[in-house]
Amino acid sequence: MSAPTAWTLLVATAALHLGFQLTVSALVYPALGDTHSAFEASHVRHSRRIAPLVGVVYAALLAGTGCVVTATSGGLRWVAVALTLAVLALTGLGAVPLHRRLAHGFDVPTFRRLQVVDALRTLAAGWLLAVAAFELLT
């Protein structure tokens, strides 16, 4: 695979991921936070419905990042790797444990921490798209 093709793939997968993150941040979590009286049931449905989508989006992001690592050289590929790892770490070490806590009932401080972790994931996703687009266009 050529370097431009690899960066194009990463731009596409990073854009997909950023769109997913923005949807979760702007629509899903606010709606979930409004379901105080039925939060547990809403959270269970949310977790069950979003899990397959998370798997597809994150697999695509890893594939795009992997293509950049194997097909390119230069420092920006390692920035892309670091940003992808940041997203994965924020998800696995931040969002997942917070979701597990919220599965037992709504808790305002835990939900606020989830929103902070989500904002950081969205920021990392935006930077990843910017780095990939910059490398592709220069």
**Could you read off the pLDDT of 68-99 as tens digits, one per residue?**
999 999 889 999 999 999 999 999 999 999 99
Indicate if the pLDDT at residue 39 is higher than 90. Answer: no
Measured CA to CA, the distance from residue 35 to residue 113 in angstroms comes to 17
The pLDDT value recorded for residue 90 is 97
The pLDDT value recorded for residue 46 is 84
Q: Which domain holds residue 122?
A: 3-137
* Model confidence, pTM: 0.90
**Could you read off the pLDDT of 10-27 as tens digits, one per residue?**
999 999 999 999 999 999
Angle, CA of 16, 24 and 85, to the nearest 5°: 60
Stronger pLDDT, 126 or 106, i.e. the higher one: 126
Q: How many domains does the chain have?
A: 1
